Amino acid sequence: MFTISEITYQIKNILEENFENIELIGEISNYTKHKSGHHYFVLKDNNAQINAILWRSANLNFELKDGMKVIVKGNIEVYPPHGKYQIICKLLKPAGEGDLYLALEALKEKLKLLGYFDSNRKKKLPIFPLKIGISTSPTGEAINDLISTIKRRNNLLTIYFRPTLVQGDGAAEDIAKAIEDLHKYDCNVIIIGRGGGSIEDLWAYNTEIVANAIYNSRIPIISAVGHEGDYTISDLVADYRASTPTAAAEIVTKITVDDLLKFLEESKIKITTKITNLIELYKEKLDDRVKKRMVRKVESLFNIEKQKLDYFSSILFNNMNNKLNLFKNKTNSLYNILNANNPINPLNKGFALLKYNNKFISKNKSLLEFEDITIVRQNENVIVKILEKL
């Protein structure tokens, strides 16, 4: 005889030992997301059902909802308190294209309400980035197209390539980690993407974890997933969407080396012309200032020389005046001496002078030696004859 617990635990051991890592396909019913983050639902088909649990620690890249067809992988376990078996899901993914589109639309609606697609939150791309981060597969055509296009158009740029899974298990997580890793290199812009494919192939770029990584990036991100007709959630959240990886490479090299050289040459001409014009302008101003300064300098020198002239003329005048006065005094003195010795002076006192043949007769001469003499007085001259001595 068994107790309920004994038989339940025997059944539990048998089931759990024989049903590990099994895959089931079915439709979700009675879906509940607990406040703890765990997911509870019933997985059913037309004839049976099984309880299912997905712990919050498991990777879930889309929104679950009733009626969705999914594939789950996990272990069968028994929950003794209820006496029920259930599957603990390790992996869960949509089954079939129709359900994938349902999951995609559900996630789009959620992210739209959160503002992930709003244009006003998207960052502007740099005009001339110098460091480009790239996240894509190392073996696909996308990386070759990206690198060759970038190098051909602008070989001055530095490329930081982070090889990434682009589809399959773990791809979404690897893409999100790649975005985080490329931030370490302080890139100016990041390109994530791959070539085209089916919705299953592109599914990693339709996941919430990748959307969150793009939304929280401080570096502008270009999403270049698939071909022209393909549109993913990463395209909607990214700051810019490129139709192909090649188009993304052209976007980040909008200004090519040739454009840069042309711009530098035009700038050189403009700057040279402007500098030349400024030099001419300042040269004219300088010439004008020099002329004015020269005029002022000449005026200053002229004033200085004029002052010197006034100074020296004053000294010369004083010297000349002194010498003239000295000469005048000497002249007066000589005049007085001459005047004192002037033989005519006695005439003014009534005396007379005696002359013979226009020569004065000295006092040592006797008048008797002459036949006649001239008596010179102040106002008259008289000739007299000498007869004899009295």
CATH of residue 174: 3.40.50.2300
For residues 131 and 90, membership in a common domain is answered with no
Give the dihedral sign, CA 122/123/125/130: negative
Cα three-residue angle 23-25-26, rounded to 5 degrees: 145
275 lies in some domain: no
- Cβ–Cβ under 8 Å, residues 163 and 154: no
pLDDT of residue 273 exceeding 80: yes
pLDDT of residue 366: 78
143 and 85 co-located in one domain: no
pLDDT score at 289: 73
Question: Do 142 and 85 share a structural domain?
Answer: no
Residue 159 burial (C-beta neighbours within 10 Å; 0-12, 13-18, 19+):
middle
Q: Is 307 a domain residue?
A: no
The dihedral formed by the CA atoms of 81, 87, 92 and 94, expressed in degrees to the nearest 10: -110
Size (the chain), residues:
390
> pLDDT above 90 covers what percent of the chain?
36
Average pLDDT of every residue of the chain: 85
Does the pLDDT value for residue 6 go beyond 90?
Answer: no
For the sheet with 359-360, list strands across it. 359-360, 353-356, 372-376, 381-385
Q: Last residue of some domain: 234, 255, 276?
A: 255
Which residue is associated with the tokens 């980035």? 129
- Distance in angstroms (rounded) separating the CA atoms of residues 129 and 186: 11
Lowest mean pLDDT among 312-316, 329-333, 341-345: 341-345
For the chain, the domain total comes to 3
Is residue 28 domain-shared with residue 132, that is, in the same domain?
Answer: no
Are residue 172 and residue 248 in the same domain, yes or no?
yes
Domain boundary among 225, 255, 285: 255
Residue at which a domain ends, from 227, 255, 283: 255
Most confident of 9-13, 151-155, 177-181, 241-245: 177-181
Name the residue range of residue 351's domain.
345-385
Across residues 52-58, what is the average pLDDT?
A: 89
| Of 72-76, 162-166, 349-353, the least confident | 349-353
CB 189 within 8 A of CB 132: yes
Q: Are residues 143 and 215 in the same domain?
A: yes
pLDDT band per the 50, 70, 90 thresholds, residue 134: very high
Q: With respect to residue 298, please indicate whether it lies within any of the assigned structural domains.
A: no
Q: Based on the fold, state whether residues 134 and 251 are members of the same structural domain.
A: yes
Q: Is residue 221 part of a domain?
A: yes
- 66 vs 41: CA distance, rounded Å: 9
Collapsed DSSP state (helix, strand, coil) of residue 234: helix
Q: Residue 363 — pLDDT band, cuts 50, 70, 90? A: confident
203 belongs to a structural domain: yes
222 in the same domain as 137:
yes
CA-based nearest residue to 90, from 105, 108, 77? 77
CATH label of the domain that carries residue 89: 2.40.50.140
The residue-averaged pLDDT of 231-235 equals: 90
The answer for residues whose C-beta is within 8 angstroms of residue 191's C-beta and 6 or more apart is 132, 133, 134, 135, 136, 146, 221, 222, 224, 242, 245, 248, 249, 252
Q: Are residues 131 and 91 in the same domain?
A: no
Q: Across residues 114-120, what is the average pLDDT?
A: 94
Structure tokens at 108: 């789009």
